[in-house]
Structure 1
Amino acid sequence: MKPAAFDYHAPETAAEAVDLLAELGDEAKFIAGGQSLMPLLVLRLAVFEHLVDLRRPAGLRGIDTGTGTVRIGATTTHATVGRSEVIARGVPLLARATPLIGHFQIRNRGTIGGSLAHADAAAEYPAVAMTLDADIETLSPRGTRTIPAEEFFQGMWTTAVEPDELVTAVTFPVWTGRCGYAIEEFTRRSGDFAVAGAAVAVRVDADDRIERCAITVFGMGPAPIRARALETDLVGRGASTISARDVGHDATAHLDAVPSDGHGTDGYRRRVGAAMVARAWTRAVEEALDD
Protein backbone atom coordinates (compact mmCIF):
# COMPACT_ATOMS: atom_id res chain seq x y z
CA MET A 1 0.00 0.00 0.00
CA LYS A 2 0.94 3.64 -0.36
CA PRO A 3 0.04 6.65 1.77
CA ALA A 4 -2.64 9.03 0.59
CA ALA A 5 -1.35 12.08 -1.27
CA PHE A 6 -0.07 14.93 0.88
CA ASP A 7 1.70 18.27 0.54
CA TYR A 8 5.24 18.35 1.91
CA HIS A 9 6.64 21.28 3.91
CA ALA A 10 10.25 21.72 5.06
CA PRO A 11 10.53 24.70 7.44
CA GLU A 12 13.97 26.05 8.33
CA THR A 13 13.22 26.84 12.00
CA ALA A 14 11.10 25.50 14.83
CA ALA A 15 9.11 28.75 14.92
CA GLU A 16 8.33 28.40 11.22
CA ALA A 17 7.19 24.81 11.80
CA VAL A 18 4.83 25.91 14.56
CA ASP A 19 3.45 28.71 12.39
CA LEU A 20 2.80 26.22 9.59
CA LEU A 21 0.91 23.93 11.95
CA ALA A 22 -1.21 26.85 13.16
CA GLU A 23 -1.95 27.82 9.56
CA LEU A 24 -2.73 24.32 8.28
CA GLY A 25 -4.66 23.10 11.31
CA ASP A 26 -5.82 19.54 11.92
CA GLU A 27 -4.94 18.39 8.41
CA ALA A 28 -1.22 18.81 9.14
CA LYS A 29 1.16 16.52 11.01
CA PHE A 30 4.77 16.91 12.11
CA ILE A 31 7.20 14.26 10.88
CA ALA A 32 10.71 13.79 12.26
CA GLY A 33 12.25 10.34 11.72
CA GLY A 34 8.93 8.95 10.54
CA GLN A 35 9.53 5.52 12.05
CA SER A 36 6.14 5.51 13.76
CA LEU A 37 4.18 7.81 11.46
CA MET A 38 5.04 6.31 8.08
CA PRO A 39 3.63 2.82 8.81
CA LEU A 40 0.37 4.45 9.88
CA LEU A 41 0.26 6.47 6.66
CA VAL A 42 1.15 3.51 4.45
CA LEU A 43 -1.58 1.38 6.01
CA ARG A 44 -4.04 4.30 5.72
CA LEU A 45 -4.60 4.16 9.47
CA ALA A 46 -3.86 7.88 9.42
CA VAL A 47 -4.37 10.39 6.63
CA PHE A 48 -3.05 13.98 6.57
CA GLU A 49 -3.14 16.53 3.79
CA HIS A 50 0.14 18.11 4.93
CA LEU A 51 3.36 16.77 6.45
CA VAL A 52 5.68 19.27 8.12
CA ASP A 53 9.23 17.88 8.13
CA LEU A 54 11.32 18.73 11.20
CA ARG A 55 14.70 17.57 9.92
CA ARG A 56 16.01 20.99 8.84
CA PRO A 57 15.76 23.16 11.98
CA ALA A 58 19.21 22.93 13.58
CA GLY A 59 17.84 24.21 16.88
CA LEU A 60 15.83 21.03 17.32
CA ARG A 61 18.82 18.69 17.49
CA GLY A 62 21.94 18.36 19.57
CA ILE A 63 23.04 17.46 23.10
CA ASP A 64 23.93 20.10 25.70
CA THR A 65 24.90 19.97 29.35
CA GLY A 66 23.70 22.36 32.03
CA THR A 67 24.05 22.55 35.79
CA GLY A 68 23.16 19.00 36.76
CA THR A 69 21.23 18.34 33.54
CA VAL A 70 21.58 16.98 30.03
CA ARG A 71 19.33 18.52 27.39
CA ILE A 72 18.63 16.72 24.11
CA GLY A 73 16.99 18.33 21.10
CA ALA A 74 13.85 16.60 19.90
CA THR A 75 15.14 15.61 16.45
CA THR A 76 18.35 14.08 17.80
CA THR A 77 18.40 10.51 16.49
CA HIS A 78 18.54 7.38 18.58
CA ALA A 79 21.88 6.56 16.98
CA THR A 80 23.32 9.92 18.05
CA VAL A 81 22.07 9.37 21.59
CA GLY A 82 23.62 5.91 21.62
CA ARG A 83 27.02 7.21 20.49
CA SER A 84 27.16 10.18 22.86
CA GLU A 85 29.78 10.05 25.61
CA VAL A 86 27.97 12.92 27.34
CA ILE A 87 24.84 10.79 27.65
CA ALA A 88 26.79 7.66 28.60
CA ARG A 89 28.28 9.60 31.54
CA GLY A 90 25.35 11.78 32.52
CA VAL A 91 22.29 9.67 31.67
CA PRO A 92 23.51 6.06 31.58
CA LEU A 93 20.00 4.63 31.66
CA LEU A 94 19.15 6.39 28.39
CA ALA A 95 22.35 5.12 26.77
CA ARG A 96 21.53 1.55 27.82
CA ALA A 97 17.97 1.76 26.55
CA THR A 98 19.01 2.90 23.07
CA PRO A 99 20.30 -0.43 21.67
CA LEU A 100 16.96 -2.03 22.58
CA ILE A 101 15.07 0.23 20.17
CA GLY A 102 14.14 -1.60 16.96
CA HIS A 103 17.05 -2.19 14.59
CA PHE A 104 19.97 0.01 13.52
CA GLN A 105 18.03 1.35 10.52
CA ILE A 106 15.28 2.56 12.87
CA ARG A 107 17.82 4.05 15.28
CA ASN A 108 19.49 5.91 12.41
CA ARG A 109 16.25 7.69 11.51
CA GLY A 110 14.10 7.65 14.64
CA THR A 111 14.30 10.61 17.03
CA ILE A 112 14.02 10.98 20.77
CA GLY A 113 11.32 13.64 20.45
CA GLY A 114 9.36 11.45 18.06
CA SER A 115 9.47 8.54 20.48
CA LEU A 116 8.27 10.67 23.38
CA ALA A 117 5.53 12.37 21.34
CA HIS A 118 4.32 9.05 19.91
CA ALA A 119 4.03 7.75 23.49
CA ASP A 120 3.84 4.04 22.82
CA ALA A 121 3.34 2.33 26.17
CA ALA A 122 5.89 -0.37 25.30
CA ALA A 123 8.62 2.01 24.11
CA GLU A 124 11.93 2.44 25.93
CA TYR A 125 12.50 6.20 25.87
CA PRO A 126 9.17 7.12 27.52
CA ALA A 127 9.98 4.64 30.31
CA VAL A 128 13.42 6.19 30.83
CA ALA A 129 11.94 9.70 30.83
CA MET A 130 9.44 8.64 33.47
CA THR A 131 12.08 6.90 35.60
CA LEU A 132 14.45 9.86 35.64
CA ASP A 133 11.77 12.58 36.03
CA ALA A 134 12.67 14.20 32.74
CA ASP A 135 11.12 17.48 31.57
CA ILE A 136 9.74 17.74 28.03
CA GLU A 137 9.84 21.15 26.38
CA THR A 138 7.29 22.36 23.83
CA LEU A 139 6.79 25.36 21.58
CA SER A 140 3.50 26.86 20.36
CA PRO A 141 2.26 30.25 19.12
CA ARG A 142 1.77 31.08 22.83
CA GLY A 143 5.43 30.48 23.63
CA THR A 144 7.33 27.69 25.38
CA ARG A 145 6.43 25.48 28.28
CA THR A 146 7.95 22.58 30.21
CA ILE A 147 5.97 19.43 31.03
CA PRO A 148 7.19 16.92 33.64
CA ALA A 149 7.26 13.35 32.33
CA GLU A 150 4.82 12.34 35.06
CA GLU A 151 2.22 14.65 33.47
CA PHE A 152 3.32 14.24 29.86
CA PHE A 153 2.30 10.60 29.28
CA GLN A 154 -1.46 10.31 29.62
CA GLY A 155 -2.32 7.05 27.83
CA MET A 156 -1.60 4.97 24.77
CA TRP A 157 -0.40 7.38 22.04
CA THR A 158 -1.74 10.23 24.19
CA THR A 159 0.29 13.04 25.73
CA ALA A 160 -0.21 16.46 27.28
CA VAL A 161 0.99 18.13 24.07
CA GLU A 162 -1.66 20.50 22.71
CA PRO A 163 -2.68 20.27 19.02
CA ASP A 164 -0.69 23.41 18.17
CA GLU A 165 2.44 22.47 20.12
CA LEU A 166 5.76 21.01 18.98
CA VAL A 167 8.04 18.95 21.22
CA THR A 168 11.41 20.72 21.04
CA ALA A 169 13.65 19.06 23.64
CA VAL A 170 13.86 16.82 26.69
CA THR A 171 15.99 17.54 29.76
CA PHE A 172 17.24 14.81 32.07
CA PRO A 173 18.55 15.47 35.60
CA VAL A 174 21.98 13.96 36.26
CA TRP A 175 22.07 11.70 39.29
CA THR A 176 25.20 11.96 41.44
CA GLY A 177 26.71 9.71 44.07
CA ARG A 178 26.84 5.92 44.16
CA CYS A 179 24.29 5.12 41.47
CA GLY A 180 23.28 2.14 39.38
CA TYR A 181 20.96 1.83 36.38
CA ALA A 182 19.39 -0.98 34.42
CA ILE A 183 16.68 -1.58 31.84
CA GLU A 184 15.31 -5.03 31.05
CA GLU A 185 12.62 -6.08 28.60
CA PHE A 186 11.16 -9.24 27.13
CA THR A 187 10.36 -9.27 23.41
CA ARG A 188 9.13 -12.01 21.08
CA ARG A 189 11.86 -11.15 18.59
CA SER A 190 14.84 -8.84 18.66
CA GLY A 191 13.68 -5.34 17.80
CA ASP A 192 10.03 -5.88 18.72
CA PHE A 193 8.22 -3.73 21.24
CA ALA A 194 8.42 -5.12 24.75
CA VAL A 195 5.78 -7.54 26.02
CA ALA A 196 6.86 -6.22 29.42
CA GLY A 197 9.87 -4.27 30.63
CA ALA A 198 11.33 -2.37 33.55
CA ALA A 199 13.70 0.56 34.06
CA VAL A 200 15.40 1.05 37.41
CA ALA A 201 17.69 3.70 38.89
CA VAL A 202 19.19 3.35 42.38
CA ARG A 203 21.42 5.46 44.62
CA VAL A 204 22.93 4.12 47.83
CA ASP A 205 24.54 5.99 50.73
CA ALA A 206 27.86 5.36 52.46
CA ASP A 207 26.22 2.62 54.57
CA ASP A 208 24.90 0.80 51.48
CA ARG A 209 21.32 1.79 52.21
CA ILE A 210 18.90 2.84 49.50
CA GLU A 211 19.01 6.63 49.43
CA ARG A 212 16.95 7.10 46.29
CA CYS A 213 15.36 4.80 43.73
CA ALA A 214 13.02 4.88 40.76
CA ILE A 215 11.20 1.89 39.27
CA THR A 216 9.13 2.07 36.09
CA VAL A 217 7.33 -0.74 34.27
CA PHE A 218 6.39 -0.46 30.61
CA GLY A 219 4.30 -2.51 28.20
CA MET A 220 1.96 -3.25 31.10
CA GLY A 221 -0.57 -0.45 30.80
CA PRO A 222 -1.59 2.50 28.64
CA ALA A 223 1.59 4.40 29.64
CA PRO A 224 4.82 3.75 31.56
CA ILE A 225 4.03 3.39 35.26
CA ARG A 226 6.19 4.44 38.23
CA ALA A 227 6.02 2.27 41.34
CA ARG A 228 6.18 5.29 43.63
CA ALA A 229 4.74 3.69 46.78
CA LEU A 230 7.25 0.87 46.49
CA GLU A 231 10.10 3.34 45.95
CA THR A 232 9.19 5.14 49.16
CA ASP A 233 9.09 1.85 51.06
CA LEU A 234 12.55 0.85 49.83
CA VAL A 235 14.34 4.07 50.82
CA GLY A 236 16.43 3.60 53.95
CA ARG A 237 16.66 -0.17 53.71
CA GLY A 238 19.94 -2.01 53.29
CA ALA A 239 20.44 -2.62 49.59
CA SER A 240 21.83 -6.11 50.04
CA THR A 241 18.94 -7.18 52.29
CA ILE A 242 16.19 -6.44 49.77
CA SER A 243 14.77 -9.37 47.83
CA ALA A 244 14.75 -8.58 44.11
CA ARG A 245 11.96 -11.09 43.66
CA ASP A 246 9.82 -9.24 46.20
CA VAL A 247 10.55 -5.94 44.46
CA GLY A 248 9.39 -7.43 41.15
CA HIS A 249 6.22 -8.81 42.70
CA ASP A 250 5.36 -5.60 44.53
CA ALA A 251 5.98 -3.44 41.44
CA THR A 252 3.49 -5.40 39.32
CA ALA A 253 0.95 -6.98 41.66
CA HIS A 254 -1.36 -3.99 41.94
CA LEU A 255 -1.26 -2.68 38.38
CA ASP A 256 -4.62 -1.84 36.81
CA ALA A 257 -5.65 -2.59 33.23
CA VAL A 258 -2.70 -4.78 32.26
CA PRO A 259 -3.40 -5.59 28.60
CA SER A 260 -4.35 -9.07 27.42
CA ASP A 261 -3.75 -9.58 23.72
CA GLY A 262 -2.05 -11.84 21.22
CA HIS A 263 1.29 -11.27 22.93
CA GLY A 264 0.15 -12.38 26.36
CA THR A 265 -2.59 -12.45 28.96
CA ASP A 266 -2.81 -10.20 32.00
CA GLY A 267 -1.36 -12.91 34.22
CA TYR A 268 1.46 -13.72 31.81
CA ARG A 269 2.46 -10.09 31.50
CA ARG A 270 2.48 -9.68 35.28
CA ARG A 271 4.81 -12.66 35.69
CA VAL A 272 7.13 -11.46 32.93
CA GLY A 273 7.02 -7.89 34.23
CA ALA A 274 7.88 -9.01 37.75
CA ALA A 275 10.87 -10.92 36.40
CA MET A 276 12.04 -7.88 34.41
CA VAL A 277 11.81 -5.65 37.48
CA ALA A 278 13.73 -8.20 39.57
CA ARG A 279 16.50 -8.44 36.96
CA ALA A 280 16.77 -4.68 36.54
CA TRP A 281 16.77 -4.11 40.30
CA THR A 282 19.53 -6.68 40.80
CA ARG A 283 21.75 -5.16 38.12
CA ALA A 284 21.19 -1.58 39.28
CA VAL A 285 21.92 -2.38 42.93
CA GLU A 286 25.06 -4.33 42.03
CA GLU A 287 26.35 -1.37 40.03
CA ALA A 288 25.58 1.10 42.81
CA LEU A 289 27.30 -1.02 45.45
CA ASP A 290 30.38 -1.42 43.24
CA ASP A 291 30.68 2.34 42.74
Structure 2
Amino acid sequence: MKPPPFAYRAPREVGQALADLAAVGEDGKVLAGGQSLIPLLNMRLAAPGTVVDINRVAGLDTLTAGPDGVRVGALTRQARVERSEEAAAVQPLLRQALRLVAHPVIRNRGTVVGSLVHADPAAELPAVLAVLDGSVRLASADGGERDVPARAFFTGPLEVAAGPGDLAVSALFPALPPRTGTAFHEVSRRHGDFALAGVAAVVTMRADLGLEEARVACAGVGPVPIVVDVTAEAGAGDWAAAAHTVRERIEPEDDVHASAAYRRHLTGVLTERALAEASRRAADA
Protein backbone atom coordinates (compact mmCIF):
# COMPACT_ATOMS: atom_id res chain seq x y z
CA MET A 1 0.00 0.00 0.00
CA LYS A 2 1.21 3.47 -0.86
CA PRO A 3 -0.08 6.85 0.33
CA PRO A 4 -1.54 9.40 -2.05
CA PRO A 5 0.84 12.18 -3.11
CA PHE A 6 1.24 15.11 -0.72
CA ALA A 7 3.50 18.11 -0.15
CA TYR A 8 5.86 17.85 2.79
CA ARG A 9 7.01 20.51 5.22
CA ALA A 10 9.43 20.01 8.13
CA PRO A 11 9.58 23.17 10.27
CA ARG A 12 12.14 23.50 13.06
CA GLU A 13 10.37 26.07 15.23
CA VAL A 14 6.88 26.26 16.66
CA GLY A 15 6.28 29.58 14.93
CA GLN A 16 7.15 28.16 11.54
CA ALA A 17 5.00 25.09 12.17
CA LEU A 18 2.05 27.33 12.99
CA ALA A 19 2.68 29.44 9.90
CA ASP A 20 2.79 26.32 7.74
CA LEU A 21 -0.47 25.03 9.23
CA ALA A 22 -2.15 28.39 8.74
CA ALA A 23 -0.99 28.44 5.12
CA VAL A 24 -2.30 25.00 4.20
CA GLY A 25 -5.50 25.24 6.27
CA GLU A 26 -7.86 22.29 6.18
CA ASP A 27 -5.70 20.62 3.55
CA GLY A 28 -2.92 19.93 6.07
CA LYS A 29 -2.16 17.16 8.55
CA VAL A 30 0.37 17.14 11.40
CA LEU A 31 2.87 14.29 11.61
CA ALA A 32 4.25 13.57 15.08
CA GLY A 33 4.51 9.88 15.99
CA GLY A 34 2.72 8.80 12.83
CA GLN A 35 1.28 5.64 14.36
CA SER A 36 -2.24 6.68 13.34
CA LEU A 37 -1.62 9.00 10.40
CA ILE A 38 0.72 6.76 8.39
CA PRO A 39 -1.68 3.76 8.31
CA LEU A 40 -4.51 6.09 7.31
CA LEU A 41 -2.40 7.46 4.48
CA ASN A 42 -1.30 4.03 3.32
CA MET A 43 -4.87 2.77 3.28
CA ARG A 44 -5.91 6.02 1.57
CA LEU A 45 -8.42 6.78 4.28
CA ALA A 46 -6.77 10.21 4.56
CA ALA A 47 -5.49 12.30 1.66
CA PRO A 48 -4.09 15.61 2.90
CA GLY A 49 -2.53 17.96 0.40
CA THR A 50 0.31 18.74 2.83
CA VAL A 51 1.90 16.90 5.74
CA VAL A 52 3.56 19.15 8.32
CA ASP A 53 6.19 17.07 10.12
CA ILE A 54 6.86 18.58 13.58
CA ASN A 55 9.48 16.05 14.67
CA ARG A 56 12.31 18.59 14.20
CA VAL A 57 10.56 21.32 16.19
CA ALA A 58 12.53 22.09 19.33
CA GLY A 59 10.88 22.26 22.74
CA LEU A 60 7.91 19.96 22.16
CA ASP A 61 9.35 16.80 23.76
CA THR A 62 8.74 17.93 27.34
CA LEU A 63 7.49 15.93 30.32
CA THR A 64 6.94 17.62 33.67
CA ALA A 65 5.29 16.28 36.81
CA GLY A 66 4.32 18.67 39.57
CA PRO A 67 1.59 19.55 42.09
CA ASP A 68 -0.84 20.48 39.31
CA GLY A 69 -0.36 17.24 37.39
CA VAL A 70 1.59 15.81 34.47
CA ARG A 71 2.10 17.99 31.41
CA VAL A 72 3.11 16.13 28.27
CA GLY A 73 4.55 17.87 25.22
CA ALA A 74 3.41 17.17 21.67
CA LEU A 75 6.50 15.12 20.78
CA THR A 76 6.80 13.17 24.02
CA ARG A 77 6.62 9.47 23.23
CA GLN A 78 4.19 7.20 25.00
CA ALA A 79 6.98 4.89 26.16
CA ARG A 80 8.76 7.75 27.92
CA VAL A 81 5.64 8.67 29.87
CA GLU A 82 4.96 5.02 30.67
CA ARG A 83 8.46 4.58 32.11
CA SER A 84 8.58 7.84 34.03
CA GLU A 85 8.47 7.24 37.78
CA GLU A 86 7.82 10.94 38.39
CA ALA A 87 4.78 10.91 36.10
CA ALA A 88 3.46 7.68 37.63
CA ALA A 89 3.80 9.10 41.15
CA VAL A 90 1.72 12.16 40.26
CA GLN A 91 -0.76 10.49 37.89
CA PRO A 92 -0.69 6.66 38.06
CA LEU A 93 -3.64 6.28 35.69
CA LEU A 94 -1.38 7.32 32.81
CA ARG A 95 0.92 4.33 33.27
CA GLN A 96 -2.00 1.97 33.92
CA ALA A 97 -3.56 2.96 30.60
CA LEU A 98 -0.37 3.24 28.55
CA ARG A 99 0.57 -0.36 29.30
CA LEU A 100 -2.55 -1.36 27.39
CA VAL A 101 -1.85 0.79 24.32
CA ALA A 102 -0.92 -1.37 21.30
CA HIS A 103 2.61 -2.85 21.60
CA PRO A 104 5.95 -1.51 22.92
CA VAL A 105 7.25 -0.80 19.42
CA ILE A 106 4.20 1.40 18.79
CA ARG A 107 4.59 3.19 22.12
CA ASN A 108 8.25 3.86 21.37
CA ARG A 109 7.19 6.08 18.49
CA GLY A 110 3.61 7.10 19.21
CA THR A 111 2.94 10.32 21.11
CA VAL A 112 0.49 10.91 23.93
CA VAL A 113 -0.80 14.16 22.46
CA GLY A 114 -1.08 12.60 19.00
CA SER A 115 -3.39 9.93 20.39
CA LEU A 116 -5.54 12.62 21.99
CA VAL A 117 -5.79 14.62 18.77
CA HIS A 118 -6.55 11.49 16.73
CA ALA A 119 -9.52 11.01 19.12
CA ASP A 120 -10.32 7.39 18.35
CA PRO A 121 -13.34 6.59 20.59
CA ALA A 122 -11.80 3.19 21.44
CA ALA A 123 -8.40 4.58 22.46
CA GLU A 124 -7.24 4.58 26.08
CA LEU A 125 -5.67 8.03 26.43
CA PRO A 126 -8.75 10.11 25.49
CA ALA A 127 -10.66 8.26 28.23
CA VAL A 128 -7.90 9.02 30.72
CA LEU A 129 -7.91 12.72 29.89
CA ALA A 130 -11.71 12.79 30.08
CA VAL A 131 -12.08 11.06 33.45
CA LEU A 132 -9.40 13.34 34.95
CA ASP A 133 -10.99 16.46 33.44
CA GLY A 134 -7.65 17.28 31.83
CA SER A 135 -7.02 19.67 28.98
CA VAL A 136 -5.16 20.11 25.71
CA ARG A 137 -3.21 23.30 24.97
CA LEU A 138 -3.65 24.62 21.44
CA ALA A 139 -1.42 27.20 19.80
CA SER A 140 -2.31 29.20 16.70
CA ALA A 141 -0.46 31.36 14.19
CA ASP A 142 -1.73 34.60 15.75
CA GLY A 143 0.48 33.88 18.75
CA GLY A 144 -2.26 32.88 21.11
CA GLU A 145 -2.60 29.73 23.20
CA ARG A 146 -5.69 28.31 24.83
CA ASP A 147 -6.39 25.34 27.07
CA VAL A 148 -9.39 23.29 25.95
CA PRO A 149 -10.89 20.97 28.60
CA ALA A 150 -11.42 17.36 27.63
CA ARG A 151 -15.21 17.69 27.84
CA ALA A 152 -15.05 20.28 25.04
CA PHE A 153 -12.03 18.93 23.17
CA PHE A 154 -13.52 15.63 21.96
CA THR A 155 -16.39 16.51 19.64
CA GLY A 156 -16.97 13.24 17.74
CA PRO A 157 -15.26 10.15 16.34
CA LEU A 158 -11.80 11.28 15.15
CA GLU A 159 -12.90 14.89 15.69
CA VAL A 160 -11.59 17.49 18.14
CA ALA A 161 -12.10 21.19 18.83
CA ALA A 162 -8.98 22.30 16.96
CA GLY A 163 -9.09 24.61 13.97
CA PRO A 164 -7.18 24.05 10.72
CA GLY A 165 -4.31 26.32 11.85
CA ASP A 166 -4.11 25.03 15.42
CA LEU A 167 -1.30 22.90 16.81
CA ALA A 168 -1.75 20.85 19.98
CA VAL A 169 1.46 21.63 21.86
CA SER A 170 0.81 19.83 25.16
CA ALA A 171 -1.75 18.12 27.38
CA LEU A 172 -2.29 18.32 31.13
CA PHE A 173 -3.34 15.28 33.16
CA PRO A 174 -4.30 16.75 36.56
CA ALA A 175 -2.88 15.38 39.80
CA LEU A 176 -5.05 13.32 42.12
CA PRO A 177 -6.41 14.54 45.46
CA PRO A 178 -5.35 12.68 48.62
CA ARG A 179 -6.72 9.16 49.22
CA THR A 180 -7.52 8.63 45.55
CA GLY A 181 -7.07 5.44 43.56
CA THR A 182 -7.28 4.73 39.85
CA ALA A 183 -7.61 1.74 37.54
CA PHE A 184 -8.02 0.98 33.84
CA HIS A 185 -9.63 -2.23 32.61
CA GLU A 186 -10.37 -3.29 29.05
CA VAL A 187 -11.04 -6.33 26.90
CA SER A 188 -9.69 -6.78 23.37
CA ARG A 189 -9.76 -9.70 20.96
CA ARG A 190 -5.98 -9.87 21.00
CA HIS A 191 -3.39 -8.12 23.12
CA GLY A 192 -2.56 -4.82 21.45
CA ASP A 193 -5.81 -4.55 19.50
CA PHE A 194 -8.21 -1.70 20.11
CA ALA A 195 -10.44 -2.65 23.02
CA LEU A 196 -14.00 -3.85 22.52
CA ALA A 197 -14.67 -1.72 25.59
CA GLY A 198 -12.54 -0.04 28.23
CA VAL A 199 -13.18 1.71 31.54
CA ALA A 200 -10.99 4.19 33.43
CA ALA A 201 -11.99 4.66 37.07
CA VAL A 202 -11.11 7.27 39.71
CA VAL A 203 -12.21 6.80 43.34
CA THR A 204 -11.57 9.24 46.21
CA MET A 205 -12.10 8.26 49.85
CA ARG A 206 -12.74 10.42 52.90
CA ALA A 207 -10.47 10.28 55.94
CA ASP A 208 -12.80 7.67 57.49
CA LEU A 209 -12.51 5.64 54.25
CA GLY A 210 -16.08 6.39 53.26
CA LEU A 211 -16.61 7.16 49.58
CA GLU A 212 -16.21 10.81 48.62
CA GLU A 213 -16.32 10.57 44.83
CA ALA A 214 -16.32 7.91 42.11
CA ARG A 215 -16.39 8.39 38.36
CA VAL A 216 -15.54 6.43 35.26
CA ALA A 217 -14.82 7.14 31.61
CA CYS A 218 -15.84 4.53 29.04
CA ALA A 219 -13.99 3.92 25.77
CA GLY A 220 -15.29 2.19 22.67
CA VAL A 221 -18.98 2.57 23.52
CA GLY A 222 -19.82 6.00 22.17
CA PRO A 223 -18.63 8.67 19.74
CA VAL A 224 -16.40 10.20 22.43
CA PRO A 225 -15.23 9.03 25.87
CA ILE A 226 -18.32 8.90 28.10
CA VAL A 227 -17.74 10.15 31.66
CA VAL A 228 -20.21 9.03 34.33
CA ASP A 229 -20.24 10.19 37.95
CA VAL A 230 -21.36 7.19 40.00
CA THR A 231 -20.79 8.63 43.49
CA ALA A 232 -24.45 8.38 44.49
CA GLU A 233 -24.88 4.82 43.27
CA ALA A 234 -21.61 3.58 44.75
CA GLY A 235 -21.93 5.42 48.06
CA ALA A 236 -22.08 2.18 50.03
CA GLY A 237 -19.57 0.36 47.86
CA ASP A 238 -22.32 -0.92 45.58
CA TRP A 239 -20.33 -1.28 42.40
CA ALA A 240 -23.12 -3.28 40.77
CA ALA A 241 -25.46 -0.29 41.05
CA ALA A 242 -22.76 1.91 39.61
CA ALA A 243 -22.31 -0.50 36.72
CA HIS A 244 -26.05 -0.44 36.03
CA THR A 245 -25.97 3.36 35.78
CA VAL A 246 -23.02 3.23 33.40
CA ARG A 247 -24.74 0.67 31.16
CA GLU A 248 -27.71 3.04 30.88
CA ARG A 249 -25.51 5.98 29.87
CA ILE A 250 -23.33 4.48 27.15
CA GLU A 251 -24.07 4.34 23.40
CA PRO A 252 -22.53 1.14 22.00
CA GLU A 253 -23.07 0.04 18.42
CA ASP A 254 -22.97 -3.27 16.57
CA ASP A 255 -19.98 -3.98 14.36
CA VAL A 256 -18.06 -6.98 13.01
CA HIS A 257 -16.21 -7.40 16.32
CA ALA A 258 -19.06 -7.35 18.85
CA SER A 259 -22.74 -6.58 19.25
CA ALA A 260 -24.00 -3.52 21.06
CA ALA A 261 -25.59 -5.76 23.70
CA TYR A 262 -22.28 -7.49 24.38
CA ARG A 263 -20.42 -4.19 24.64
CA ARG A 264 -23.03 -2.88 27.08
CA HIS A 265 -22.72 -5.99 29.24
CA LEU A 266 -18.92 -5.93 29.04
CA THR A 267 -18.74 -2.28 30.05
CA GLY A 268 -20.76 -3.04 33.17
CA VAL A 269 -18.41 -5.85 34.15
CA LEU A 270 -15.35 -3.70 33.53
CA THR A 271 -16.88 -0.85 35.53
CA GLU A 272 -17.30 -3.06 38.59
CA ARG A 273 -13.74 -4.35 38.29
CA ALA A 274 -12.17 -0.94 37.75
CA LEU A 275 -14.09 0.73 40.59
CA ALA A 276 -13.26 -2.08 43.01
CA GLU A 277 -9.56 -1.91 42.15
CA ALA A 278 -9.48 1.88 42.31
CA SER A 279 -11.19 1.85 45.72
CA ARG A 280 -8.63 -0.61 47.09
CA ARG A 281 -5.83 1.66 45.92
CA ALA A 282 -7.58 4.68 47.43
CA ALA A 283 -7.84 2.92 50.78
CA ASP A 284 -4.11 2.18 50.68
CA ALA A 285 -3.10 5.67 49.53
Give the TM-score normalised by the residue count of structure 1.
0.94
One-letter identity of the residue aligned with 2:167: L
Alignment partner, residue 189 of structure 1? 190
Deviation digits for residues 64-120 of structure 1 (CA, Å, limit 9, x no counterpart): 234422211021111011011111100100111111000111101110111000000
**Mapped contact 1:61–1:75 kept (Cα < 8 A):** yes
Q: Equivalents in 2 of 1:67, 1:93: separation in Å? A: 16
Q: 1:254 to 1:6 in 2, by over 3 A?
A: closer
Which residue of structure 2 aligns with residue 164 of structure 1?
Answer: 165
What SS does the aligned partner of 2:195 have? coil
Note the 1:141-152 alignment, pairs <5 A.
141-142=141-142, 143-152=144-153
**What is the identity, as a one-letter code, of the residue corresponding to 2:82?**
G
Q: What per-residue deviation string (whole Å, max 9, x for no partner) do you get for residues 9-56 of structure 1?
A: 111112211100111223221111111111111011111222111111
What is aligned with 2:260? 266
Counterparts of residues 193-272 of structure 1 (less than 5 Å) = 193-228=194-229, 230-231=230-231, 233-234=232-233, 237=235, 241-255=236-250, 257-272=251-266
The one-letter code matched in structure 2 to 1:150 is R
Q: Which runs of 5+ in 1 are unaligned?
A: none
1:119-167 deviation line (CA, Å, top 9, x unaligned): 0000000000001110110001231111000111111001111111011
Contact 1:210-1:234 at 8 Å conserved across structures: no
**Aligned partners of 1:109 and 1:95: how far apart in 2?**
16
> In the TM superposition, what is the alpha-carbon distance from 1:3 to its structure 2 partner?
0.6
C-alpha distance in 2 between matches for 1:94 and 1:74: 16
Letter matched to residue 95 of structure 1: R
CA distance in 1, matches of 2:38, 2:66: 34
Q: Which one-letter code corresponds to 2:261 in the other structure?
A: G
C-alpha separation between the residues in 2 aligned to 1:65 and 1:280? Answer: 25
1-structure distance, mates of 2:20, 2:275? 45
Residues in 1 aligned to 2:35 and 2:238: alpha-carbon distance in whole angstroms? 39
CA positional deviation for 1:234: 4.7
In structure 2, the gaps of 5 or more residues are none
The CA distance in 2 between the partners of 1:220 and 1:48, in whole Å, is 29
Between the aligned partners of 1:213 and 1:11, the Cα distance in structure 2 is 44
**Runs of at least 4 residues off by over 4 Å:** none
Q: Does 1:283 align with 2:274?
A: no
Q: SS of the residue aligned with 1:58? A: coil
TM-score, with normalisation over the residues of structure 2?
A: 0.96
2:28 touches 2:164 (CA, 8 Å); kept in 1? no
Does structure 2 retain, via aligned residues, the 8 Å contact 1:132–1:214?
no
| 1:1-291 alignment runs, 5 A limit | 1-142=1-142, 143-228=144-229, 230-231=230-231, 233-234=232-233, 237=235, 241-255=236-250, 257-291=251-285
Q: Distance in 2 between matches of 1:101 and 1:61?
A: 20
Inter-partner Cα distance in structure 2 for 1:84 and 1:125: 16
| % identity of equivalent residues | 40
CA–CA separation in structure 2 for the residues paired with 1:168 and 1:109: 17
Pairwise CA RMSD: 1.4
Measured in 2, the distance between the counterparts of 1:52 and 1:60 equals 15
